Structure 1
Amino acid sequence: MVEHNAPALDRVFRALADPTRRAMLRRLADGEHSVGELAEPFDMSFAAAAKHVKVLEEAGLLSRTIEGRTHRCRIEAGPLAEADRWIAYYQRFWTGRLDDLETALLRHAHQKKRSRK
């Protein structure tokens, strides 16, 4: 598989590696939130939440608009779709490998059963 946009994919997976950022994205899947609203469920400062938002923004996973002093965040699905395509490729690979293993195990069990007779 040729990865045409590997640096962007690297940023997406780096951003998704953190459970706090994944939780923030999950909240954004329900609609727009301010940075302060994204920080609420966590024991963290606004500055810490803003750093997480910046990582997500740099990965292209969210976009931010500024309304006065409020930064509104919205999820961006494109990079997630790209990550999903990357994962799907390997899912097909492993599904095929596991199917081959199942076939080999069934063949082995059948041969073992026949040799007992």
Structure 2
Amino acid sequence: MEDNPKNPKYITDIAHELRTPLTTLRTHVEAFIDEVWEPDKGHLLILHEEINHLEQLIQNLRKVSKLEETELILNKSYFNISNETQKIVQSFIPLFKKDNYEINFKIEPNN
């Protein structure tokens, strides 16, 4: 999903992402009202997860909105990804050696 609120696909994707947890919440609550299900811990946990999902979506929308409000200046830089990856892998070697594991890796040089 492209994070551009002016993009119609973005808006459609957000609407879908919001509809899914709302539908789950609605169907579960209707099942409780109609006494199809008892509001037991299992069903309530599902509702809780969907509420958390909605909260996360709303937080993400707020972040995108704030990004749109500010002028974002990116400073691009070039770096050698091979060297950086090698440093990262090497930083884990002592942890693995401590538990008698060995890391084997081959990173192609970045030209």
Normalised by the length of structure 2, the TM-score is 0.31
Normalised by the length of structure 1, the TM-score is 0.30
Judging by fraction of residues, say which structure has more strand: 1
